[in-house]
Chain A
Amino acid sequence: SQTIHQWPATLVQPVGSPLSLECTVEGTSNPNLYWYRQAAGRGLQLLFYSVGIGQISSEVPQNLSASRPQDRQFILSSKKLLLSDSGFYLCAWGTGSYEQYFGPGTRLTVT
């Protein structure tokens, strides 16, 4: 069966510091991968998606970036965090029928 992992589970970082969040999927090959952010009191916002290694599409311009160095690994990064980057970050993988499955999430607090 397929499993999706995210780490770290929680993170507290100062403004201006870098960020690296990792997502890995097991049990499937060549999945579509997605990064979402869920801010307090708001719905989920799609940030990036990837249909293959090195292929990244951005939905929202911001100071975040994503990379897919391996088939089942998706990384969300920032060079300098802003207060507004605080939120709950969710990684998901998708099937050919466009169904998506989500990871446990990373709670990021920027102080």
Chain B
Amino acid sequence: KQEVTQIPAALSVPEGENLVLNCSFTDSAIYNLQWFRQDPGKGLTSLLLIQSSQREQTSGRLNASLDKSSGRSTLYIAASQPGDSATYLCAVYDYKLSFGAGTTVTVRA
């Protein structure tokens, strides 16, 4: 059974600092890994999708890396802003999406 862990559970940083969010998974036989953002009371917004054959994906200030052999992914958010405050979820797809519990980020102005 796939287990996805996200550390830390919560993170508070001053505006402008870079964010590093970690995700680990137990079974490396995945098709892809997806990072999501969830604002309070809202649905999930897809941020980045990394196929199993890829090492990283970038979108604006966001960069996600994938090391499938070690079962790890990292989401980097450069020059954080208060608008980046949200919960960030990673999910891996083998035959279904398995989610981590998320990292709740607070960016202080």
B76 within 8 A of A: no
B100 touches A90 (CB 8 A): no
B96 within 8 A of A: yes
Question: Which of B43, B49, B101 meets A97, CB within 8 Å?
Answer: B49
A99 touches B46 (CB 8 A): yes
What residues on B are CB-neighbors of A98 within 8 Å? 31-32, 93
B29 within 8 A of A: no
Separation of A49 and B96 alpha carbons in the complex (Å): 9
Tell me how many residues of B have a C-beta within 8 Å of chain A: 22
Selected A-B contacts with CB under 8 Å, 9 pairs: A43-B99, A44-B89, A88-B41, A90-B43, A98-B31, A100-B46, A100-B91, A100-B97, A102-B43
Separation of A6 and B49 alpha carbons in the complex (Å): 24
B34 touches A100 (CB 8 A): yes
Separation of A99 and B91 alpha carbons in the complex (Å): 10
Question: Which of B32, B41, B49, B99 meets A44, CB within 8 Å?
Answer: B99
Nearest-Cβ distance from residue B94 to partner chain A, whole angstroms: 9
B43 touches A104 (CB 8 A): yes
B42 within 8 A of A: yes
